[in-house]
Structure 1
């Protein structure tokens, strides 16, 4: 009975447990991939705004920030917003290279 338990049931439980762990990792990978894709789309829209739409809606974001944070309205300017956008772009590049590194790391296996 002990040998049956050790060599039949325990490996089965181990395999089931290992497969569920792999499934969880795969689901997390898919969710992370979709979130990254959404993040890249948002960054693309922000870049498009910086390059083109700010000509037509120059102070649109400033007005939104004035409405959301009226206390800090004296400190908000278009220059601050551009600095934030530039930081977001660098963050996007950083996340992209991290994603590439992890995908190459998975391809090794």
Structure 2
């Protein structure tokens, strides 16, 4: 019985490690795209008490408009405002059309 538990634990640990190491389908963004996102978020009205880091995953439609897929942040209000501000915004930067989605970190300072 102890051997069975040990084998199952080792199997679960191995599976978790493999899933964590698997590559994601999103790619890092270019410097020009990052600067364009900064400009879009420049006038957003978010008050934070401490520095917040949000992780943004977006894709683009045929009109080169951003579709925000995910905003990961501990501050839910900031995440919602970022999504509302960036969703369906058209960008000028030309990105690789073969990529399905892009990810970038966003830091909001208190």
Higher helix share: 1
TM superposition score category, shorter chain reference? 0.3 to 0.5
Larger Rg, first or second structure (1 or 2): 1
Instruction: Using structure 1 for the length normalisation, give the TM-score.
Output: 0.34
